[in-house]
């Protein structure tokens, strides 16, 4: 494997680890801690909230530091820092302790999106497919959190779900550092590029502001959908797929290290399958973005979400699983679209910082979504949550209608002013 492919692979592994670390607690809380610590599922969600605020809040300084210092250096900090934080979190014995650990994990997790995506969109030309491929790895991290944690709950305890990925991440950090050491040294000493956007015409700026407003609005609403589906799916399956899970657990003896009655493993496995299959949507969307642009693609994705969220209330077992595939296709399919639009419109000199702003918005909404999920679940159950998410899909659809057919490009700015 050449160095270029190894570079992209390590960036993809980083996206996998980023989402895995932020969602290990979702499965742990849903399947174990509410019983082990005698704290309700809704109450446990409150302790995860600061971690998701950190996930968003620290995205902006991470992007700024990457543009000022070195993006590859920040990626090394990400791998090693989040690994150490995860291992430390495994020693928690109270909700407050694990909440603090999740906050530190969130601080390091905030590095990946503004920095990793800036590298991907700057270094390679086939932006849509690169972002989509990178996004699939992130989705597999979401899926892996449910699968790995569910398996370890049944076979080793929930603490190992933090320890083992933590060790792996630290190793990947040193591998990344070895591969990119010369690039880190060169980037530190290279002069930083400047942007000509300040010279743009008023018409160009107005168009750019219009696109930016749509990007940030849809990013916020999409984050509500993404968080509600990915974080709550293990609990949704725990409630609605019990009959199916009990039946499937009879076949668990054929899985290595598992036995009959390992319902947590089955629930985690079903969540993994849904996440993994749904992640294929990103590859399709990435291909279509390069061909048709974001407007038409985003409208199709919004309609898919609207339809499947609307039919989900009241369903259980096989039907619930089938519809979950549908709305997760929409939830994952939307991920690369905003990043594609930023990659096409943002100047490379400021790209990491702009991604930082985008993820401050997105992950602040992610954090705020947890109290919403807890409140809605405790008072009305998941059916009401699905109806709220259907409404969110309508908001996205209406916003996307206002997108221009062609996005403004950085190189258009100076030309427009001449």
The percent of residues in the chain predicted with pLDDT above 90, rounded, is 26
Average the pLDDT over 203-217 and give the result.
81
Per-residue model confidence (pLDDT) at position 111:
93
Q: Are 109 and 359 in contact (CB under 8 A)?
A: no
> Please, what CATH class does the domain formed by 3-417 belong to?
mainly alpha
Average the pLDDT over 61-89 and give the result.
91
Average the pLDDT over 69-94 and give the result.
93
Highest mean pLDDT among 71-85, 331-345, 398-412: 71-85
Closest by Cα among 209, 403, 174, 400 to 305: 400
Q: Could you tell me the pTM of the whole model?
A: 0.71
Per-residue model confidence (pLDDT) at position 192:
55
Tokens of 115: 């920095």
In the predicted structure, residue 27 carries a pLDDT above the cut 50: yes
Per-residue model confidence (pLDDT) at position 101:
95
In the predicted structure, residue 40 carries a pLDDT above the cut 80: yes
The CA-based dihedral angle spanning residues 273, 274, 276, 282, taken in that order and rounded to the nearest 10 degrees: 160
Residues in the chain, how many?
Answer: 418
Closest by Cα among 85, 11, 74, 90 to 51: 85
Tens digit of each residue's pLDDT (9 = 90 or more) over 266-292: 777 788 888 878 878 888 888 888 788
Integer angstrom CA distances of residue 342 from 57, 114, 375: 19, 11, 33
Tens digit of each residue's pLDDT (9 = 90 or more) over 121-175: 777 766 677 888 888 888 788 777 877 887 777 777 888 889 989 999 999 999 9
In the predicted structure, residue 12 carries a pLDDT above the cut 90: yes
Question: What radius of gyration, in Å, describes the C-alpha atoms of the chain?
Answer: 21
Average the pLDDT over 2-29 and give the result.
89
In the predicted structure, residue 253 carries a pLDDT above the cut 70: no
Tell me 408's DSSP state.
P
The residue with tokens 């409208």 is: 299
Mean pLDDT of the chain: 82
| Rounded CA separation 282/132 (Å) | 5
Per-residue model confidence (pLDDT) at position 109:
94
Least confident of 223-232, 333-342, 408-417: 408-417
Helices (H) and strands (E) in the chain, counts: 19, 0
Least confident of 324-328, 356-360, 405-409: 405-409
In the predicted structure, residue 255 carries a pLDDT above the cut 80: no
394 CB neighbour count, 10 Å cutoff: 16
Per-residue model confidence (pLDDT) at position 44:
86
- 114: region left, alpha or beta (phi > 0 left; psi from -120 to 50 alpha): alpha
Tens digit of each residue's pLDDT (9 = 90 or more) over 49-60: 888 888 878 888
pLDDT tier at 88 (50, 70, 90 boundaries)? very high
pLDDT tier at 4 (50, 70, 90 boundaries)? confident
**SS percent in the chain: helix, strand, coil, step 5:** 85, 0, 15
pLDDT tier at 77 (50, 70, 90 boundaries)? very high
Q: Are 328 and 275 in contact (CB under 8 A)?
A: yes
């Amino acid at each position: 494997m050449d160095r270029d492919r190894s570079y992209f692979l390590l960036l993809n592994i980083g996206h996998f680890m980023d989402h895995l670390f932020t969602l290990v607690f979702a499965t742990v809380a849903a399947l174990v801690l509410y019983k082990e610590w005698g704290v309700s599922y809704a109450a446990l969600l409150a302790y995860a909230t600061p971690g998701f605020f950190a996930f968003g809040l620290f995205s902006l300084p991470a992007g700024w530091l990457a543009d000022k210092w070195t993006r590859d250096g920040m990626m090394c900090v990400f791998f090693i820092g989040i690994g150490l934080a995860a291992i430390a979190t495994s020693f928690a014995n109270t909700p407050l302790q694990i909440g603090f650990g999740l906050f530190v994990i969130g601080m390091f997790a905030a590095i990946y999106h503004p920095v990793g995506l800036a590298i991907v969109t700057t270094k390679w030309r086939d932006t849509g497919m690169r972002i989509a491929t990178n996004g699939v790895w992130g989705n597999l991290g979401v899926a892996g959190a449910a699968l790995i944690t569910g398996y370890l709950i049944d076979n080793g305890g929930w603490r190992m779900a933090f320890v083992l990925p933590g060790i792996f991440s630290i190793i990947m950090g040193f591998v990344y550092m070895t591969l990119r050491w010369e690039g880190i040294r060169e980037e530190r000493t290279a002069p930083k590029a400047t942007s000509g956007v300040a010279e743009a015409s008023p018409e160009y700026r107005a168009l750019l502001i219009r696109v930016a407003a749509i990007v940030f609005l849809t990013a916020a609403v999409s984050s509500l959908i993404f968080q509600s589906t990915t974080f709550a799916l293990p609990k949704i399956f725990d409630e609605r797929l019990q009959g199916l899970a009990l039946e499937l657990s009879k076949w668990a003896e054929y899985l290595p290290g598992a036995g009959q009655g390992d319902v947590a493993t089955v629930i985690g496995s079903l969540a993994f399958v849904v996440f993994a299959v749904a992640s294929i949507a990103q590859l399709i969307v990435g291909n279509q973005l390069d061909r048709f642009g974001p407007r038409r693609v985003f409208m199709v994705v919004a309609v898919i979400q609207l339809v499947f969220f609307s039919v989900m209330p009241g369903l259980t077992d096989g039907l619930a699983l089938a519809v979950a595939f549908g709305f997760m296709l929409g939830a994952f399919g939307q991920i690369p679209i905003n990043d594609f639009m930023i990659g096409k419109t943002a100047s490379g000199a400021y790209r990491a910082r702009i991604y930082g702003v985008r993820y401050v918005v997105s992950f602040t909404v992610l954090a705020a979504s947890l109290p919403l999920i807890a409140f809605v679940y405790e008072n009305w159950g998941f059916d009401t949550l699905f109806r709220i998410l259907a409404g969110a899909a309508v908001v996205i659809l209406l916003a996307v209608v206002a997108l221009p057919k062609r996005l403004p490009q950085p190189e258009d700015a100076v030309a427009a002013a001449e």
